Amino acid sequence: MPVLPAPPWTQFCDLPIHLFLSCGAPGRGWYSRHSMADDEVLREYRTGSDPRTLRDALGCFATGVTVVTCFDENGGPVGFTANSFTSVSLDPPLLLVNVHKHAACAAGLTNAQHFAVNVLQTGQQPASIRFSTRQEDRFGANDWSRGEFGAPVLQESLGVFECERYAVHDGGDHHILVGHVVKASFNPELDPLLYFRGRYRRLHFD
Ligand SMILES: Cc1cc2nc3c(=O)[nH]c(=O)nc-3n(C[C@H](O)[C@H](O)[C@H](O)COP(=O)(O)O)c2cc1C
């Protein structure tokens, strides 16, 4: 996900807000009542416009939330909150995450042989906030262990992808970090923490 100077993830919502995902027929859901053709609702970004509008447009894409972790060159655990996580390929099994070049853990993550993508569940909103806020010890308050392939793994995560570094591409002000998945584990009984329009959300099942 391309990211601009003041990212949309600077707002937080401590209260769970249910995100209703409609699976109904086209024309019968939310979009028919709030049509994009409605001039009063439609907002638009073009080259040269206020970048906040582009941020808001990007924020329309609802995502899960992950914490990406590795050990840095001093052997200490480092990590940061990321929602730019995307699956890339099944054969070979590849995924990617975009890391801002100025992030404190950017060098650690792009140099590490292994890293882990911890997919967060609803109870891990505090971890998401901790791993996206500048502070000395992000790992202290979180239960974590060394994963089988040498990257820190957050306990109680919904899912964990342990990866070997596959490639690092240039992505403007971000590094595109591609990982080769060597192990994936998940807990089918947990629900995902979501992020939409700059706020944390939860999935609502009817
Ligand atoms: C929900 C959420 C998603 C985020 N996704 C990303 C991302 O994909 N890439 C990124 O570089 N930063 C992302 N951030 C911001 C980083 O977590 C944050 O800027 C970073 O941890 C700053 O601290 P650091 O420089 O000390 O690492 C996200 C933040 C939040 C709250």
pLDDT tens digits for range 108-156 = 999 999 999 999 999 999 999 999 998 778 998 669 999 999 999 999 9
Site to substitute for ligand 1 among 13, 86, 118, 132, most atoms within 8 A of C-beta = 132
Our count of domains for the chain comes to: 1
User: Ligand 1 centre from 83 Cα, in Å?
Assistant: 8
With bands split at pLDDT 50, 70 and 90, how would you rate the model's confidence at 41?
confident
pLDDT 10s digits, 81-97: 999 999 999 999 999 99
With a cut of 90, say whether residue 99 has pLDDT above it.
yes
Q: Please name the residues in contact with 76: beta carbons below 8 A apart, sequence gap of 6 or more.
A: none
For ligand 1, whether the C-beta of 200 sits within 6 Å is: no
Ligand 1 atom at minimum distance from 200 CA: 1
CA distance 66 to 97: 10
| pLDDT value for 15 | 32
User: In this structure, what CATH number is given to the domain that contains residue 132?
Assistant: 2.30.110.10
With a cut of 50, say whether residue 79 has pLDDT above it.
yes
Domain assignment of residue 55, given as a range? 1-206
| pLDDT value for 45 | 96
CB 52 within 8 A of CB 44: no
With a cut of 90, say whether residue 25 has pLDDT above it.
no
| pLDDT value for 40 | 74
For ligand 1, whether the C-beta of 105 sits within 6 Å is: yes
Average confidence (pLDDT) over 5-13: 42
Phi, psi of 155 (to 5 degrees): -65, 155
| pLDDT value for 17 | 33
CA distance 92 to 55: 32
Nearest CA to ligand 1 atom 18: 132
| pLDDT value for 14 | 35
For ligand 1, whether the C-beta of 80 sits within 6 Å is: yes
CA distance 161 to 183: 6
CA distance 195 to 81: 11
For ligand 1, whether the C-beta of 195 sits within 6 Å is: yes
Candidate ranges 7-11, 40-44, 45-49; pick with highest mean pLDDT: 45-49
Site to substitute for ligand 1 among 95, 100, 193, 197, most atoms within 8 A of C-beta = 100
Average confidence (pLDDT) over 64-74: 97
